[in-house]
Amino acid sequence: MSKKDKKEIVQMILNQKLEKQDKEDIIDMLANNPITVDVDKEEAKRLTIGEKLADKLSEIAGSWGFIIIFSLFLITWIFINGFLLKTKQLDPYPFILLNLILSCISAIQAPIIMMSQNRSAKKDSIRNQNDYKIDLKSELILEDLHNKIELLIKNQLKIINIIENTIEKDSK
C-alpha cells in the first residue's frame, strides 16, 4: 500500500480523485481484509447492567402481554375500589391513588425506554456505516472486475485479429 494515511484515502474515495495505483491498492486492501462488523455481537460485549435492564424493560413494556396484564390490573383496581369495597374503599372514585401510581410508573418507565431507544439508534447508525463500507467495497471490487473483463476482451480481440491476419497470410 502507498504511504497515504487512511484519512487521505477516505477523502480521495469521497472526492473520486483516485490515481490508478491508489485504486488498485484500495481494492487489494478491501478485498483482502474483512470490513464487516457484527453490530449486535459488538454491542452485546459492551452492555452495562443498566443498559441490559433498560432493553429488557422496553421489551416487556412494549409487548401485548404487558398491555393485557396492566389493563387487567387497572380493571381489577377499579372494580375492587368502586364496587366491592363500598364502605371501606382504599382508593375511592376518582381513584387518585391509582393516578399517582400510574404517573410514577410513567415517570420512571419513559426515560428508561428512551435510553434503550437511543442505544438502538446508535446501533442503527453503526449498522448503516457498516453497510456503507460493504457497498463501497462491493463497488470497488466490481469496478476492478469490470476493468479486468474489459482488458480480457481487448486481449481476445487482439488475439482474434492476429489469428485472422495469420489465416489471411496463409491463404494467400
- Give the residue from 42, 45, 35 showing the smallest Cα distance to 131: 35
Q: How confident is the model at residue 164 (pLDDT cuts 50, 70, 90)?
A: very high
User: How would you write the chain as a 3-class SS string?
Assistant: CCCCCHHHHHHHHHHCCCCHHHHHHHHHHHHHCCCCCCHHHHHHHHCCHHHHHHHHHHHHHCCHHHHHHHHHHHHHHHHHHHHHCCCCCCCCCCCHHHHHHHHHHHHHHHHHHHHHHHHHHHHHHHHHHHHHHHHHHHHHHHHHHHHHHHHHHHHHHHHHHHHHHHHHHHHC
Whole-number pLDDT of residue 100: 95
In a domain, 14, yes or no: no
In a domain, 3, yes or no: no
Domain count of the fold of the chain: 1
Whole-number pLDDT of residue 1: 43
Q: Which domain holds residue 118?
A: 26-171
In a domain, 94, yes or no: yes
In a domain, 165, yes or no: yes
In a domain, 13, yes or no: no
In a domain, 34, yes or no: yes
Q: How confident is the model at residue 17 (pLDDT cuts 50, 70, 90)?
A: low
In a domain, 146, yes or no: yes
In a domain, 85, yes or no: yes
Q: What average pLDDT score do residues 118-133 get?
A: 87
pLDDT digits (tens, 9 = 90+) for 34-90: 666 677 777 778 888 988 888 888 889 889 999 999 999 999 999 988 888 777 778
